[in-house]
Structure 1
Amino acid sequence: MLLWNPDMNWIRNPFPPAVLALILAGCSVAPVYERPQADVPAAFKEAKGDAAAAGNADWKPAEPADGIARGPWWHVFGDATLDGLEERAMAANQDLQAAAARLAQSRALQQDARAGLFPRVDAGVGPTRQRPSPASQGRPDDGPSQASTLWRAQLSVSYEADLFGRVASSVNAAEADAERSEALFESVRLALQGDVAQAYFLVRELDAVQALYRRTVALREQALKLAQRRFEEGDIAELDVARARAELATARSESLGTARARASAEHALAILLGAAPADFTLAEMPLVRSAPPVPALLPSALLERRPDIAAAERAMAAANARIGMARAAFFPRLDITAGLGTEASQFDNLARWSSRTFLFGPLVGTMLTLPIFDGGRRDAALDLARARYEEDVAAYRQTVLTAFREVEDNLANLRILAQQAAAQDEAVAASLRASQLSQTQYREGSVSYLEVIDADRNVLQQQRAAMQMDGERARSTVALIRALGGGWQAPEPVASASPRR
């Protein structure tokens, strides 16, 4: 510890002008980040049908960006029950809570990295009890030595001058990581919203199928009573009665299978809502055909709206900043430290002016360090940083391709399902007519009861296929909205767990 002396001019200007200029004009060696190019088509191949051309008041074109709130896009279905389930999931889903906690962690790391831009100031006070060895004082090994107590009150300051951008690169990397976590949080939230909507429509589809089987069972019971009466009257053989009874049992069995599938779907929906299956019950509501039109945006806008693409892009930015950190390790590092305080043999004397002390520079080592040889460790770290950046570039481009495929898949699904639904409606109508004719002919005795059973089975099969198609269209609509990055509603205030950058 050096004593203060007003005549020591080097203290007033401890560095020559050249060194001061170097400190003040520190430069970064980090590579300039530019988002890599990705192959973007001019238009979606499947965006040529009604799903692309139709408009809807709930879908308002806006400037796309991954940073805007998506709003309650599920309102396009006009289902109050779905609205309530979505809000409940946003408040209680545990996966979303975990994603919010990961976002908070990344923001804490960002704050920790930004602290490196500022000096660190510490204060302390306390005694030191020491007995030096006689040899350390130039005396014989068996010479006398007295123990002493030294009280010290000190204010210390430490700061790394960011000469070549190491600290700035670490801050940039932490900021990109935080933005990536934010995008991942949005991705989890959008996925949860889509999962809730799809699970809900699955339950409603099964409700419609269950209602169909109830009607079928009632018709089968009537048919069995009719067959039993006609058998007793001697109009038909017992074989027809046995067939009617078998068809009734089959319908009841299939109804129970649908109930089992419905229970499993309801349990899965409960977990998405953050509730135990025992605490959640969804009233039966058969699915009503609904296919709200979803406008297809330009492919280039998809890059800005999809949160998973934004997360992949921020991962590249963080990897680029870490290349700068690895490069800075090849250049000198300047650590500025200073201490100011008082020292005295008694605590009462710490406040005396004569007890003041200061230290400028490290207590051990040097202020300016220059790496010379490390066996290739810095080269390996730089190669690692570059390789990770290339990996993130490839992952980004793959994410973009996957996003385009998901949009194309769901556009194709909706286009073809609309055509398939029209054809299925014709099949249902034709099967119903065939069933009516077969029953009339059976009563007239021109056909066997086996043909009536076949016709009834075909009606049930076609009606069930139509209901499954309605559910698939609703789920494909949700999947398309999710693939497009969410809804186009005007931005809304975002929850505190995910403030926008």
Structure 2
Amino acid sequence: MKHPDTMKTTQRTAWTAPSVLLLTLILAGCSVAPVYDKPAVDTPAAYKEAAPEADPRWKTARPAEALARGQWWTVFGDAELDRLEDRALAANQNLKAAAARLAQARAMLGSARAERYPELNAGFGPSRQRPSPASRGLPDDAPSSATTLWRAQATVSYEADLFGRIASGVDAASAQAEQSEALFRSVQLALQADVAQNYFRMRELDAEQQLYAATVALRERSLKLVQRRFDEGDISELDLARSRTELASAQAEAIEIARQRSAAEHALAILLGQPPASFGLPARPIARMAVTIPAGLPSELLERRPDIAAAERAVAAANARVGIARAAFFPRLSLTGALGYESGELGNLLDWPARAFVLGPLVGTALTLPIFDGGRRSAELERARAAYEEDVANYRQAVLDAFREVEDNLASLRLLDEQNRAQDAAVASAARAAGLSQIQYREGSVSYLDVIDADRNVLQQRRAAVRLDGERARATVGLIRALGGGWSEAPPSTAMVGTSMATIITTP
């Protein structure tokens, strides 16, 4: 029969183990991380620069990174641009670097999630040791011999997430992975826009080259006419010198345009991920852009911007890190154990009597409670809170920048329409004045200087018109980029970037 005290001890032990386990499970469900609320931002009721017929309704911006953007560049109906965009998405090195950063963030998320589970290890090997006599409770001069101990054992360790430290780490890593994906999309969108804008820049320079080629041909004919009249004694050498000067000036400016086109072609080659020496694009002058972005754009478009999504996910990650810093003030429970065999002889290692186990902390204690650290944990908490406030400010600034970029491009397109009409009228008037000056010069009523001035004015006005066409094309691309990459929510085709992104991420 058991002694009453022994029975009480047994009952106490029987009740204590479940109680401790229950308490551990209860504490594991507790988290000291602050509840995350997306920061509020001020939004206007309507776009200031939108056309009057635009929908004035607006709502709070919410990053919607999962929405499909589509191959927005196909709206220009340019097969050459479509081909260049596909090449850039497949070979651009900056995009591949962004994909690698995304893969790193996802791997870090996997590492953070692994902390939720026990860690199991196995080991095998001998240890040779000679304990001191004093450590065995013997006199210092007592004999002591060296022994060899063979071990084959498995060890397990597990940290109970009492106050949400591990959960907060997973939340932070998850938000970081989502931020990296949004940043990848941002790099992707920037690449698409840069390719389109560089392409239209080259087409603009092609139009200028075409314009200067026609100007050089015209001035060559004028020089022949002036030369003939000089040879016949109708005019002085001054008109001949002026005609030669104008021809040489046009030829020099044509060479400058060729130099700029070469630089633009080289820049486009780099965006495509290939050396400039192996890339060339046939000349094709830009045409007046017929694409018009709808003025009544839905409010969701601004929400699709990847940079805003990245900034918002950075706020969520910072909020989770505040939870990690708070959890450092509370106890940590680490459970460890080892099970295996120990023997002085290798041949006896796996014998049943050689079995051994350890339950409890292999090193240190199972439950640790921080008491004093000189204010280090408080400083870490303050740093985490300040980092959160910084990310909130960055998020709100990203929203403001997005509104500004949309407004800028809406204003550019609206005013470029007016400017194009005025410039077309200027080109027509300048061409009419140049034709009249040629007639009057032949009749001898005006000097050749008037003809030169009229020709210069025609060239300047036509060149300004070409530049406006290029500006309109780039502003259209800029507006699409500011809106997050298109205004259609239709799912992308199989050739869209989703496939390209997966290819990039999985390519070694």
Q: Are the equivalent residues in 1 in contact too, given 2:302–2:483 (CA < 8 A)?
A: no
Q: Determine helix, strand or coil for the equivalent of 2:115.
A: helix
Q: Determine helix, strand or coil for the equivalent of 1:275.
A: coil
Q: Are the equivalent residues in 2 in contact too, given 1:43–1:298 (CA < 8 A)?
A: no
When structure 1 is superposed on structure 2, of 296-305 and 171-180 the one drifting more is 296-305
- The within-5 A match list for 1:267-286 is 267-286=266-285
Letter in 1 for 2:21: L
Change (3 A) 1:64 1:17: closer
Q: Hey, what does 2:38 align to over in structure 1?
A: 35
Q: Hey, what does 1:442 align to over in structure 2?
A: 441
Q: Are the equivalent residues in 2 in contact too, given 1:23–1:161 (CA < 8 A)?
A: yes
Q: Hey, what does 2:23 align to over in structure 1?
A: 22
Q: Are the equivalent residues in 1 in contact too, given 2:34–2:320 (CA < 8 A)?
A: yes
Q: Hey, what does 2:177 align to over in structure 1?
A: 178
Q: Hey, what does 1:228 align to over in structure 2?
A: 227
Q: Hey, what does 1:45 align to over in structure 2?
A: 48
Q: Determine helix, strand or coil for the equivalent of 1:16.
A: helix
Aligned-partner Cα distance in 2 for 1:370–1:173: 24
Aligned-partner Cα distance in 1 for 2:202–2:317: 42
Q: Hey, what does 2:150 align to over in structure 1?
A: 151
Aligned-partner Cα distance in 2 for 1:289–1:20: 75
Q: Hey, what does 1:491 align to over in structure 2?
A: 491
Q: Determine helix, strand or coil for the equivalent of 1:292.
A: coil
Change (3 A) 1:201 1:250: same
When structure 1 is superposed on structure 2, of 284-293 and 319-328 the one drifting more is 284-293
Aligned-partner Cα distance in 1 for 2:190–2:487: 16
Q: CA deviation at 1:300?
A: 4.6
Aligned-partner Cα distance in 1 for 2:100–2:295: 34
Q: CA deviation at 1:142?
A: 2.5
Aligned-partner Cα distance in 2 for 1:469–1:342: 83
Seq. identity, %? 66
When structure 1 is superposed on structure 2, of 377-386 and 486-495 the one drifting more is 486-495
Q: Are the equivalent residues in 1 in contact too, given 2:63–2:306 (CA < 8 A)?
A: no
Q: CA deviation at 1:301?
A: 2.1
Q: What is the number of residues matched between the two proteins?
A: 482
Q: CA deviation at 1:145?
A: 1.1
Aligned-partner Cα distance in 2 for 1:39–1:377: 37
Q: Determine helix, strand or coil for the equivalent of 1:264.
A: helix
Q: Hey, what does 1:306 align to over in structure 2?
A: 305
Q: Hey, what does 1:379 align to over in structure 2?
A: 378
- The within-5 A match list for 1:411-490 is 411-489=410-488, 490=490
Q: CA deviation at 1:302?
A: 4.3
Q: Are the equivalent residues in 1 in contact too, given 2:64–2:309 (CA < 8 A)?
A: no
Q: Determine helix, strand or coil for the equivalent of 1:150.
A: strand
Letter in 1 for 2:407: E
Q: Are the equivalent residues in 1 in contact too, given 2:210–2:285 (CA < 8 A)?
A: yes
Q: Hey, what does 1:56 align to over in structure 2?
A: none
Change (3 A) 1:197 1:14: farther
Q: CA deviation at 1:138?
A: 2.1
Q: CA deviation at 1:297?
A: 6.3
Letter in 1 for 2:128: R
Q: CA deviation at 1:139?
A: 2.2
When structure 1 is superposed on structure 2, of 340-349 and 324-333 the one drifting more is 340-349
Aligned-partner Cα distance in 2 for 1:195–1:233: 56
Q: Deviations over 1:214-255 (max 9, x none)?
A: 000000000000011111122222211111111111110111
2:326 aligned with 1:327: yes
Q: Determine helix, strand or coil for the equivalent of 2:341.
A: strand
Q: Deviations over 1:78-120 (max 9, x none)?
A: 1111111111111111111111111111111111111101110
Deviation >4 Å, runs of 4+: 12-15, 296-300
Aligned-partner Cα distance in 2 for 1:14–1:96: 60
The alignment's TM-score, normalised by the length of structure 2, stands at 0.91
Letter in 2 for 1:22: L
Q: Determine helix, strand or coil for the equivalent of 2:153.
A: strand
Q: CA deviation at 1:491?
A: 2.3
The alignment's TM-score, normalised by the length of structure 1, stands at 0.92
Q: CA deviation at 1:273?
A: 1.1
Q: Are the equivalent residues in 2 in contact too, given 1:308–1:399 (CA < 8 A)?
A: yes
Aligned-partner Cα distance in 2 for 1:64–1:376: 38
Q: Deviations over 1:412-465 (max 9, x none)?
A: 000000110011001101111111111111111111111111111100000000
Q: CA deviation at 1:293?
A: 1.6
Q: Hey, what does 2:3 align to over in structure 1?
A: none
Aligned-partner Cα distance in 1 for 2:445–2:16: 114
Letter in 2 for 1:364: V
Letter in 1 for 2:455: D
Q: Hey, what does 1:57 align to over in structure 2?
A: none
Q: Which runs of 5+ in 2 are unaligned?
A: 1-8, 56-61
Change (3 A) 1:125 1:498: closer
Change (3 A) 1:319 1:410: same
Q: Are the equivalent residues in 2 in contact too, given 1:185–1:498 (CA < 8 A)?
A: no
Letter in 2 for 1:402: D
Change (3 A) 1:385 1:296: farther
Q: Which runs of 5+ in 1 are unaligned?
A: 1-7, 54-62
Aligned-partner Cα distance in 2 for 1:175–1:335: 24
Q: Are the equivalent residues in 2 in contact too, given 1:44–1:299 (CA < 8 A)?
A: no
Change (3 A) 1:282 1:392: same
Q: Are the equivalent residues in 2 in contact too, given 1:427–1:462 (CA < 8 A)?
A: yes
Aligned-partner Cα distance in 2 for 1:64–1:377: 36
Aligned-partner Cα distance in 1 for 2:271–2:233: 58
Q: CA deviation at 1:409?
A: 0.1
Q: Determine helix, strand or coil for the equivalent of 1:396.
A: helix
Aligned-partner Cα distance in 2 for 1:391–1:397: 10
Aligned-partner Cα distance in 2 for 1:204–1:107: 41
Q: Hey, what does 2:58 align to over in structure 1?
A: none
- The within-5 A match list for 1:175-254 is 175-254=174-253
Aligned-partner Cα distance in 2 for 1:30–1:297: 42
Aligned-partner Cα distance in 2 for 1:80–1:49: 34
Change (3 A) 1:480 1:275: same
Q: Are the equivalent residues in 2 in contact too, given 1:123–1:155 (CA < 8 A)?
A: yes
Q: Are the equivalent residues in 1 in contact too, given 2:63–2:305 (CA < 8 A)?
A: no
Q: Hey, what does 2:262 align to over in structure 1?
A: 263
Aligned-partner Cα distance in 2 for 1:380–1:220: 76
Q: Deviations over 1:357-415 (max 9, x none)?
A: 11111122211111111111111111000000000000000000000000000000000
Letter in 2 for 1:41: P
Aligned-partner Cα distance in 1 for 2:225–2:400: 61
